[in-house]
Amino acid sequence: MGKALDGVRILDFTHVQSGPTCTQLLAWFGADVIKVERAGAGDITREQLRDIPDVDSLYFTMLNHNKRSVTIDTKNPEGKQVLEALIHQCDVLVENFAPGALDRMGFTWERIQELNPRMIVASVKGFGPGPYEDCKVYENVAQCAGGAASTTGFDDGPPVVTGAQIGDSGTGLHLALGIVTALYQRTQTGRGQRVLAAMQDGVLNLCRVKLRDQQRLERTGEMKEYPQYPNGQFGEAVPRAGNASGGGQPGWILKCKGWETDPNAYIYFITQAPVWTKICNVIGKEEWATDPDYATPAARLPRLKEIFAEIERWTMTKSKFEAMQILNKYDIPCGPILSMKEIAEEPSLRKTGTIVEVDHPKRGKYLTVGNPIKLSDSPTEVKRSPLLGEHTDEVMAELGYSPEQISALRTAGAI
Ligand code: COA
């Protein structure tokens, strides 16, 4: 079966996490992704957080599936010529260098357009235009500058970053959408364009409900679904909401059987209004269904602490999976706190290709996260990440270089 992006060639100048996430997705959708790396070193993540000496790290392998790797020294004049040949041949150049690095290499937007007016140039940067546009940025900087950290954690503690890589992988996703949109527009205009996804913007986009809450707070002075209500204090900015549910249906994380020894024996429990009577029956508080102090969502808001404490008395008598099974019977929304170990071993995730086992010539078998976006006419096959420069000769031959020319360029240190 063909793939959605068959025929699209990506010149992949990305490194670390944000850019590679984007190009990996495009590769999974069928694009030919040619990753350009520096000979001898390559993407810095190849050697970061290694678990096996001298073998590409899981950090690298899990972000660079289905790509080809070529080594080119883009600061070498002959290397630049190879890169120019690639720019002629490719549809999209994706990069996440520090601001200005591509220009310093001599590949300004104007120069790229001269070489290939159809080329789309897509960039991840830490910040958009403004006071911080020249800054280098990593994941947690973006989480802090995009509003996530100030709104994550508990009221009496410091800001907290989340394990979900919303700054890097989140921005990579945003960039991928920008690229396919630009490719679509190109079918009408025939022209390339620049696509920018700034990490601060990506994180803020994912935190948009907190900007909603900022304006609610400014208008009303309180937010009744936050744990600060009714006894705590609201300040000028959206506070950290602990584990409170982001929407209009109050929720909290509750202990389950075994919590004393298992750090993940917890369940997320949502007191959704339409199933309130069922919740009361399950936890043995039938009288709450009709008691005016508990019967309506508005009456419950100032009593959420007490209500969750009562529900927890019930959840603590069940394992998180037993609780989930019982609650699901009554359509009560809830979710077990799954550890990475449990996720890695979950058969249903293996079946859907969300967790995939991949074989690598140097490291052997390892697990990765497959394509979370499933297309019925463009199934994803996860292929191992390339070794450094594994496809240099192959790609150079496709560009029309003879074996002698390739060997001369290698001797000159250009590839
Ligand atoms: N041949 C020759 N030189 C190459 C090369 C190649 N194939 N590939 C990269 N380089 C050079 C670049 O030209 C640049 O040189 P310069 O600084 O002299 O212009 C240099 O290598 C590396 O660039 P840089 O991006 O500054 O790397 P860094 O390791 O110092 O910074 C980041 C890393 C992530 C902080 C930075 O790239 C960044 O802020 N990126 C944008 C935001 C981002 O994506 N952050 C998240 C990363 S997960």
pTM, two decimals, is 0.96
Q: Identify whether the C-beta of residue 228 lies closer than 8 Å to the C-beta of residue 239.
A: yes
Report the pLDDT averaged over residues 176-204. 98
In eight-state DSSP terms, residue 387 is P
DSSP β-ladder status, 355-360 and 266-270: unpaired
Provide the phi-psi class of 39: left if phi over 0, else alpha when psi is between -120 and 50, else beta. Answer: beta
Cα of 350 vs centre of ligand 1, distance in Å, is 35
Cα of 101 vs centre of ligand 1, distance in Å, is 7
Cα of 136 vs centre of ligand 1, distance in Å, is 9
pLDDT confidence of residue 114: 97
Report whether pLDDT(365) > 90: yes
Residue nearest to atom 14 of ligand 1 (CA): 101
What 3-state class would DSSP assign to 364? strand
Q: Identify whether the C-beta of residue 122 lies closer than 8 Å to the C-beta of residue 95.
A: yes
Q: Identify whether the C-beta of residue 25 lies closer than 8 Å to the C-beta of residue 51.
A: no
**How far is residue 99's CA from residue 108's CA, in Å, rounded to a whole number?**
12
In eight-state DSSP terms, residue 295 is S
Just list the catalytic residues. 168
To test ligand 1's pocket by mutation, which of 21, 63, 83, 136 has the most ligand atoms within 8 angstroms of CB?
A: 136
Report the pLDDT averaged over residues 108-115. 97
**How far is residue 66's CA from residue 371's CA, in Å, rounded to a whole number?**
11
Q: Would you place residue 246 in the very low, low, confident or very high pLDDT band (cuts 50, 70, 90)?
A: confident
**How far is residue 24's CA from residue 182's CA, in Å, rounded to a whole number?**
18
CA angle 102–107–112, rounded 5-degree value? 130
Residue nearest to atom 38 of ligand 1 (CA): 98
369: Cα within 13 Å, side-chain hemisphere: 11
Report the pLDDT averaged over residues 176-202. 98
Cα of 62 vs centre of ligand 1, distance in Å, is 20
* Mean of the per-residue pLDDT values of the chain: 97
DSSP 176-235: HHHHHHHHHHHHHH----EEEEEHHHHHHHHTHHHHHHHHHHHHHS--TTSTTTTTS---
Residue nearest to atom 25 of ligand 1 (CA): 97
Interval 16-46: pLDDT, tens: 999 999 999 999 999 999 999 998 899 999 9
Residue nearest to atom 22 of ligand 1 (CA): 97
Cα of 396 vs centre of ligand 1, distance in Å, is 24
Residue nearest to atom 28 of ligand 1 (CA): 98
Pocket of ligand 1 (CB under 6 A): 16-19, 36-38, 72-75, 96-98, 101, 104-105, 124-126, 136-138, 168
Q: Phi, psi (5° rounding) for residue 188?
A: -95, -40
Cα of 386 vs centre of ligand 1, distance in Å, is 20
Q: Which atom of ligand 1 is nearest to the CA of 44?
A: 29
pLDDT confidence of residue 248: 79
Interval 127-174: pLDDT, tens: 999 999 999 999 999 999 999 999 999 999 999 999 999 999 999 999
Report whether pLDDT(334) > 90: yes
Task: Please choose, from the candidates 275, 24, 312, 15, the residue with its C-alpha nearest in 3D space to the C-alpha of residue 173.
Answer: 24
Residue nearest to atom 9 of ligand 1 (CA): 38
pLDDT confidence of residue 152: 97
pLDDT confidence of residue 247: 75
pLDDT confidence of residue 191: 97
**How far is residue 30's CA from residue 27's CA, in Å, rounded to a whole number?**
5
pLDDT confidence of residue 232: 87
Q: Identify whether the C-beta of residue 295 lies closer than 8 Å to the C-beta of residue 289.
A: yes
pLDDT confidence of residue 150: 98
pLDDT confidence of residue 156: 93
To test ligand 1's pocket by mutation, which of 36, 97, 124 has the most ligand atoms within 8 angstroms of CB?
A: 97
pLDDT confidence of residue 269: 98
